[in-house]
Copies of this chain bind each other. A is one copy, B any other.
Amino acid sequence: MSEVRDKALLAKQAAQAMNRLSTEQKNKALLAMAEALIAGAPHIIEANRRDLDRGRAGGTSESMLDRLALTEERIRGIAEGLRQIAELPDPVGELLEQFERPNGLRVEKRRVPLGVIGMIYESRPNVTVDAAGLCLKTGNCVVLRGGSAAIESNKAIVALLKEALDRSGAPADAIQLVEDSDRGSVNEMLKLNGLLDVVIPRGGAALIQNVVQNATVPVIETGAGICHTYIDDSAKLGMAVDIAFNAKVQRPSVCNSMETLLVHEAFAARSLNELLQPFAEAGVEIRGCERTAAVLPGIKLAGPADYATEYNDYIMNVRIVSGLDEALDHIAAYGTKHSECIVTESGANAERFLQEVDAAAVYHNASTRFTDGFEFGFGAEIGISTQKLHARGPMGLPALTSTKFRVYGDGQTRG
């Protein structure tokens, strides 16, 4: 037995006991986990220091080290996240449909836990806690496979969480951490049909593509975001600037930030300079189509490879289009079905954009940065689904459930 299979089996064996926990028991366990993190903070920080030292010695960048670093304050924030999950309504058991058939059969469709969830993610140790908390609240077991850069932090955190589960009467085996940092352990996880009910990757494009290409277990694909903002002819200049600037600059490193700005040619003829001025001032590198370059000489020309890149950085493409049709074609060609925005005063154009763009979230006159579980009011999210099956967009607690039909009869047989 390998470590991965061993731990997935332990998780599966705990699934029935998890399924039996009441909402009160789960909330009690979440609060115990929060307390354990705070009480154990010095221990976590010590383990985290070993990760940081190893990273620094290995030449990890300062920005990556900052993502990895845990302080007392950050740990308090992470623990507070668990308390917030305890406050959210429990989706398990929710009655979704109920009907009686002419033969007297009573049918109920209720939410049930998925079972065992595999999480594959990169460096930030807060994902370890978020995922464990969201899975616990939904009655699921979880097999965590975080990045090797955070392994000492994750071991310290998971040991504390398991103790807290145990103390509060929940099965400690419900949370499993894969410690084997070999890539092979990921690829083995992806094929554990019968043990894992779903795998959720969270991280960069390479991680997600590896999961999509190699998993035989069902996957919920998350994350990749090449998001567009289209400024229509009738857009108000001030609103166009505010929305596009926010979408690019407020936090460029995340999936719902803008990569390409599409501008109606009539709008561009009037106001391209005013539209792009704030970006230049903020140090955003602009790559543009030939018509953009005619206005801003000296910029790098944007080609298909640029339009297909998720920069996650202070870089953006600008393309002038003949109108809504060309904007829709561009988004269909380069979008990743995440979040797309039109800024327009035309109700008809807005309606066509919202209807025809194929994406998890489509916006009229608001920044794509709002595609987020907290912003939608769902609370903490396990990720943002960019696929069309099961869940699409920000995934709140219900996305971590399945359903079951319960059928009540008094001897019915099929004729």
Contact = CB atoms under 8 A, between A and B. Distances in A.
Contacts of A387: 218
Nearest to A220: B389
Contacts of A360: 404-405
A362 interface: yes
B220 A388 contact: no
Given A220-B389, A414-B369, A115 B358 contact: yes
A242 interface: yes
Interface stretch (A3-11, A44-52, A99-107, A162-170): A99-107
Given A250-B413, A414-B375, A392 B402 contact: yes
Contacts of A245: 413
A243 interface: yes
Contact of A242 (B246, B393, B411): B411
A388 B243 contact: no
B409 A369 contact: no
A412 B370 contact: yes
B356 A413 contact: no
A102 B192 CA distance: 43
A192 to B, nearest CB: 13
A408 B364 contact: yes
A250 B406 CA distance: 22
Contacts of A75: none
Most B CB contacts (10 A, CB to CB) among A101, A245, A358 go to A358
Interface in A361-388: 361-367, 369-371, 375-377, 387-388
Given A198-B388, A216-B213, A414 B370 contact: yes
Contact of A389 (B99, B355, B376, B390): B390
A365 B414 contact: no
A370 B105 contact: yes
B99 A377 contact: yes
A272 interface: no
B16 A412 contact: no
A197 B218 CA distance: 14
Given A363-B407, A367-B414, 20 more contacts: A19-B356, A101-B375, A114-B389, A220-B389, A250-B414, A354-B406, A359-B404, A362-B404, A362-B407, A363-B409, A364-B408, A365-B408, A365-B410, A365-B411, A366-B407, A370-B412, A371-B405, A392-B402, A392-B404, A393-B405
7 closest Cβ pairs, A-B complex: A366-B409, A246-B413, A388-B402, A369-B414, A390-B390, A361-B405, A389-B390
9 contacts: A197-B388, A250-B414, A354-B406, A361-B405, A366-B409, A367-B412, A370-B414, A390-B390, A392-B403
Interface of A: 15-16, 19-20, 99, 101, 105, 107, 112, 114-115, 193, 197-198, 212-213, 216, 218-221, 236, 238-239, 242-243, 245-246, 250, 332, 354-356, 358-367, 369-371, 375-377, 387-390, 392-393, 402-414
